[in-house]
Amino acid sequence: MIIIDCPHCGPRNSTEFRHAGEAGHKRPVATTDPAEWRYYLYVHDNPMGWTRETWFHGSGCRKFFSAERNTVTNEFRWIAPFGQGPAHTEESGA
Amino acid sequence: MSAAGNWRLSPQPGEVIDRSTKVNFTWNGTAVSGFAGDTIVSALMANGEQLMSRSFKYHRPRGVMTATFFDPNCSFQVGNEPNVRGAHRLVKDGDVVQAQNAWPSLKYDVRSANQAVGRFLGPGFYYKTFIKPQPLWPAYQKVLSTFAPGGKPPAIGTPHEIFDKRYAHPDVLVVGAGPAGIAAAIEAGRAGASVILVEEEYEIGGHLRFGGPAELAHLATLRAEVAALENVEVLTDSVVSGRYDDNWVGVIQRSGVWSKERMIKARVGTLVVAAGLIERPFVFEGNDLPGVMLSTAALRLTGLHAVKPGTSAVVFTANSTGDAAIERLTQSGVTIARIVDARKGETIRRALGRGHVSGVELGNGSKVQADLLVTATGWTAPTSLLNMAGDRPVWDATAARFSPADDLPSTVMATGGILGDGTTEELIAHGRAVGAEAARRATGAAPVEIPDLGRDPHPALFQSSTVGFVDFSEDVKNKDVVSAAKEGYDSSELAKRFTTSAMGPAQGKYEMINTMAVLADATNRDFQSTGTTVWRPPYAPISLGALAGRSFEPTRVSPLQGWHEAHGVEPLIAGQWIRPEHYGDPQAEALNVRTNVGIIDVTPLGKFDIQGPDAVKLLNLVYTNQWDNLAIGSVRYGVMCAEDGVVLDDGVTARLGEDRYLMTVTSSGAATVWEWMEMWLQTVHPDWQVLITPITTGMASINIAGPNSRELLSRITDIDLDPQTFPYMKVREGVVAGVENCIVWRIGFTGELSYEIHVPASYALHVWETLIDNGQDLGISAFGIEAQRILRLEKGHLIVGQDTDGLTQAHSAGLGPLIKQAKEDFAGKQELAWQEARDGDYPHLVAIETVDPALVPPEASQIVRGNNEIVGRVTSSRMSPTLRRSVALAQVPKNLSTPGSRLTIVLPNGSRAVAVVREDLAFVDPEGVRLRG
């Protein structure tokens, strides 16, 4: 079980958190195209390597926060309050 | 006993038995005695017993081989506990020990005839022999299972034992308390780290325990040093089962605690692996005969338990441990019939004898008489935990064993035999340096220099020229591995699975390297390219009890739970909540609500206090219906959908003030809905000013339902209950039973005139009892969840998750009137618009009446048409006490949803029942006269 360093609470067991999805997918609220909507709902990049994502600290501060994680090594490059991570980086998948 | 008499030696300097305490037990029905500190096996051997079990496939006689926990031949039935590791388990007074896997008796096992038909039981025999014809598989299984190894599990109803869990956060955890491991723990402890030292056996010391005077002297010093450190916790008879991400380490503590076993989940700063070495058996004909054992087994039996393992021995030695065994056996009065020294190129060809070793044929063909054959042919590094940390060990051909590669994470270190060889002093010095460095890494002090620990050259000895066992647990021979390779299973992973070598209880500890060596030979490859399989958790078997352990899941009860229990409640476990299912007769409870008045504790209802100028925006976003026009003092029913249009939750929300709402959600959905709303607020609309406070347990909730409920409530509240001023779907705040700040609203889940009171939790019992006291002449009785389910079904009110499922979009649940597509945005809007455009071509929730009014089709019964095509299912069903007939809801396709449609329901016994679709979902009071009264 990995440790996740919550930006509000500090390092905690990953069982306290829920992965809340890849970041950067904009909700196409005005779309009239089912294909576009369902692409947003169901299709994810799921890269092998670095990815930006949202996490939820359900058993702690109950805050959503942003992070960049390597899906191979589970290493976190940064963890920040929601929407406050560094700008897009070259290696970043998202 | 095969050779009666006293096989106990005179007192030995390192012995662990207490000769002043006798232990009496039975072995296959015969009374036997040993001493406290004896393992089952050492006590049996002291009485001259050498035959411990029959093997898995061929039912060959087997004796002690390793004299450790993992001895493949020493699993017993002890009382009602199967598969007890008899070379580890200490024998207790009164134990009833029996051999497993033998019929009718250990001595005369009928199934040893399997040996004669061994060619049918070759590698892959399961797959080949029994694959066809397919319909016969159940018959094959029945026969094969009688041949499967293992003891008898306890009968159903046997009182279960208690297992526990513990969490630990040591700076340093040391695996293995041999000289290097103890030294590492000492030095880490001296550096100020908190340390846990885990030892598989009952005492620390590793191989020093059965060594000579010099080793015992070192051990005494180490023991004293570790005992002096309060920050070093020593866990004996405990095993590290696995290492996971970020040094999450599992430890099974088998004794020394009040429970049967305890699982420790440790988050470790630095993990020090000092697992030592496991002695490897040699493959030759007869290598599984009783009387063939490893040199460490001979040293353990003589040194720790003062048991003489034989009278006349051949020792095949390639190393100093074999040489030490020769010296010890000589001291113990065992005649050394021949020393076969592998370092001089000598070897053995086969062990002779039936049922027990009677002699040894040497490499040169000469034969030597002996009843004991001791082998010391090399070591296997138990690199499991290093594997689990990502290390891929490399084969050291000179030392003839794997060694850790230099690719461990900085939080994992190795010391001792698993890493290299040395004198006791060198092992201790290395352990000390690693321990100090481990503490530094965990606590951030200055680096420590670690000396080199080289590996001694060792002849590469795996198999003789004869056919013998590579896996004693699974009865796999070297020739089986060779034939697997010939059949194309030449990758180590495939060969292992095809032959089942290394797949038995010892999981490769004794078998893996020999299997690989045979495979390397058979395929003309070197060791490194043949490879080894990756060891995964658990290192040692874990009982299911230890995994289940004690549950730390919290239990939630309402403040009225004591009252319920005092009044004969049948509890209902609903997630974390314990709720009142009923108080004896749910049908009567339901009927009493229809005729008089009932009260139910609905405290687990999820309740959120929602405040802020943008609160109504949140309601409009998460509910499908319109909230802009809800007046202060009013209550509205709402449905929430997920972004795929599937019904997520439902409930009522009241507007208590300008910017203040009380939302209720289903008990089981409360956590999900809270997170769902926070997700919208935190990640999509962070500019909105809304604050959500969960008050589920802060306010207890009591629902009063029935025609007499207004009269009852009027007796204990100042709130004006006049139906003109306080009609259906309104909310009032006021005093109830003298309790201020109560919230009362009129809703009607049961279909009756009904008031729901939300009362500050600490006053809930007072309000409840006041209601009971004041309702005696009105026919009051408490009702439970079951009566509520009956009542709501009679009224045709759906339950999310019961009458809907993970695919039910809102239009399917008949919720169309509550979906306001005119709103700018709400969760599920797009999908629900597309569902609506499908013109009803989706499942529909309908009320159905069985033609036979007495028949209640079980929930989840399938609805079929034509040639048994499944088209729907019954979602809820009950016998209605009001209508005295069955009532049910069902999901059906469009063309079966029109009123009057006849449905075919399949009952569990396979018979069919017919039901008719009703006009309205409500069976009772479809016009809503009663609840609006």
ipTM of the complex in this document: 0.95
- How many Å apart are CA A20 and CA A23, to the nearest integer? 9
The Cα-based distances of B580 to B451, B597, B730, B776, B827 in angstroms read: 67, 17, 27, 21, 34
Q: Which chain A positions have a beta carbon within 8 Å of B643's beta carbon? A: 41
Give DSSP secondary structure letters for B501-549. Answer: TT-STTTTTTTHHHHHHHHHHHTT--HHHH--PPP-S-SS---HHHHH-
Mutation target among A15, A22, A37 for the B interface, most CBs of B within 10 A: A37
Residue type, B438: A
Strands ordered across the beta sheet of B195-198: B232-235, B195-198, B172-175, B270-273, B412-414
Q: What are phi and psi of B790, to 5 degrees?
A: -65, -45
pLDDT value of position B155: 85
**Given CB atoms, is B167 within the 8 Å cutoff of chain A?**
no
Q: Which two tokens stand for residue B797?
A: 């009110």
pLDDT value of position B2: 45
Q: Nearest 5 degrees, angle CA B514-CA B518-CA B524? A: 140
Of residues B334, B278, B274, the one with CA closest to residue B301: B334
- How many Å apart are CA B592 and CA B467, to the nearest integer? 81
**Given CB atoms, is B678 within the 8 Å cutoff of chain A?**
yes
SS3 B427: helix
Nearest chain B residue to A17, by CA? B675
DSSP-derived letter for residue B191 is: T
Q: Which two tokens stand for residue B88?
A: 């580890």
Q: What are phi and psi of B693, to 5 degrees?
A: -120, 120
pLDDT value of position B55: 87
- The DSSP H or E segment spanning B337 is strand B335-341
Minimum-distance CB partner of B248 among A1, A54, A64? A1
End-to-end alpha-carbon separation of chain A, Å? 25
Query: What are the residue ranges in chain B where pLDDT is below 70?
Result: 1-5, 103-104, 109-134, 137, 140-149, 533
A 27-66 residues with CB below 8 A of B?
A: 27, 29, 31-32, 34, 37, 41, 54, 56, 58, 62-64
End-to-end alpha-carbon separation of chain B, Å? 88
Put simply, the answer to whether B245 touches A64 (Cβ < 8 Å) is: no
Minimum-distance CB partner of A2 among B246, B682, B834? B246
B 472-501 residues with CB below 8 A of A?
A: none
Put simply, the answer to whether B678 touches A64 (Cβ < 8 Å) is: yes
Put simply, the answer to whether B245 touches A74 (Cβ < 8 Å) is: yes
Neighbours of B352 (CB within 10 A): 18
Q: Which two tokens stand for residue B562?
A: 């004591």
- How many Å apart are CA B327 and CA B299, to the nearest integer? 10
Put simply, the answer to whether A37 touches B831 (Cβ < 8 Å) is: yes
The Cα-based distances of B329 to B4, B38, B92 in angstroms read: 20, 20, 28
User: Going by C-beta distance under 8 Å and a sequence separation of 6 or more, which residues neighbour residue B821?
Assistant: B829, B832, B833, B836
- How many Å apart are CA A55 and CA A14, to the nearest integer? 10
pLDDT (tens digit, 9 = 90+) per residue, B838-890?
999 999 999 999 999 999 999 999 999 988 899 999 999 999 999 999 999 99
pLDDT value of position B562: 97
Of residues B724, B556, B690, B711, the one with CA closest to residue B614: B690
Residue type, B456: D
B 260-289 residues with CB below 8 A of A?
A: 267
- How many Å apart are CA B280 and CA B402, to the nearest integer? 13
> Model-level pTM?
0.87
Mutation target among B683, B687, B691, B693 for the A interface, most CBs of A within 10 A: B683
- The DSSP H or E segment spanning B368 is strand B367-369
**Given CB atoms, is B907 within the 8 Å cutoff of chain A?**
no
Of residues B552, B563, B585, B558, the one with CA closest to residue B667: B558
- How many Å apart are CA B211 and CA B202, to the nearest integer? 16
**Given CB atoms, is B911 within the 8 Å cutoff of chain A?**
no
Q: At how many degrees (to 10) do helices B829-836 and A34-42 cross?
A: 140
Q: Which chain B positions have a beta carbon within 8 Å of A34's beta carbon? A: 830, 834
- The DSSP H or E segment spanning B725 is none
Chain pair A-B, CB pairs under 8 angstroms? 40
Check whether A94 has a pLDDT greater than 80: no
- How many Å apart are CA B277 and CA B267, to the nearest integer? 26
pLDDT value of position B686: 96
B 239-258 residues with CB below 8 A of A?
A: 244-246, 248
Report, in angstroms and rounded to the nearest whole number, the Rg of chain A calculated over CA atoms: 14
B 682-721 residues with CB below 8 A of A?
A: 682-684, 686
- Annotate B713-746 with b (16+ C-beta within 10 A) or e (fewer): beebbebebeeeebebbbbbbeebbebeebbbbb
Q: How many CA atoms lie within 13 A of B222 on its CB side?
A: 32
SS3 B884: coil
Put simply, the answer to whether B244 touches A1 (Cβ < 8 Å) is: yes
Q: Which chain B positions have a beta carbon within 8 Å of A75's beta carbon? A: none
Q: What are phi and psi of B330, to 5 degrees?
A: -60, -50
Handedness of CA B416, B420, B421, B422 (dihedral sign): negative
Put simply, the answer to whether B830 touches A3 (Cβ < 8 Å) is: no
User: Going by C-beta distance under 8 Å and a sequence separation of 6 or more, which residues neighbour residue B135?
Assistant: none
Of residues A17, A78, A81, the one with CA closest to residue A52: A78
The Cα-based distances of B212 to B172, B209, B219 in angstroms read: 30, 8, 11
What is the least distance, in Å, from the CA of B123 to any CA of chain A?
37
Mean pLDDT, residues A50-73 taken together: 96
B 826-885 residues with CB below 8 A of A?
A: 830-831, 834
Query: Which residues, listed in sequence order, are joined to residue A53 by a DSSP beta bridge?
Result: A22, A67
DSSP-derived letter for residue B5 is: S
In chain B, what's the furthest Cα-to-Cα distance?
113
**Given CB atoms, is A76 within the 8 Å cutoff of chain B?**
no
- How many Å apart are CA B800 and CA B818, to the nearest integer? 15
Q: Which chain B positions have a beta carbon within 8 Å of A54's beta carbon? A: 683
Put simply, the answer to whether A31 touches B246 (Cβ < 8 Å) is: no
- How many Å apart are CA B188 and CA B180, to the nearest integer? 12
Minimum-distance CB partner of A34 among B682, B683, B834? B834
Q: Which chain A positions have a beta carbon within 8 Å of B678's beta carbon? A: 56, 62, 64
Is residue B490 a contact partner of residue B514, using CB atoms and an 8 Å limit? no
Give DSSP secondary structure letters for chain A. Answer: --EEEETTTEEEEGGG-EEEEES-----TT---HHHHHHHHH-----SSEEEEEEE-TTTT--EEEEEEETTT--EEEEEETT-SPPP-TT---
Burial class (CB in 10 A: 0-12, 13-18, 19+), B540: buried
pLDDT value of position B111: 65
Residue type, B737: A
Is residue B890 a contact partner of residue B903, using CB atoms and an 8 Å limit? yes
Dihedral over alpha carbons B863, B866, B868, B872 (to 10 degrees):
-20
Q: Which two tokens stand for residue B926?
A: 């479809």
* Helix ranges (DSSP H) in B348-477: 384-388, 424-443
Of residues B817, B846, B793, B829, the one with CA closest to residue B638: B817
Q: Which chain B positions have a beta carbon within 8 Å of A82's beta carbon? A: 682-683, 686
The Cα-based distances of B669 to B88, B304, B673, B800, B816 in angstroms read: 50, 60, 6, 9, 22
Pairing assessment for the beta strands B912-917 and B869-880 based on DSSP bridges = unpaired
pLDDT value of position B255: 85
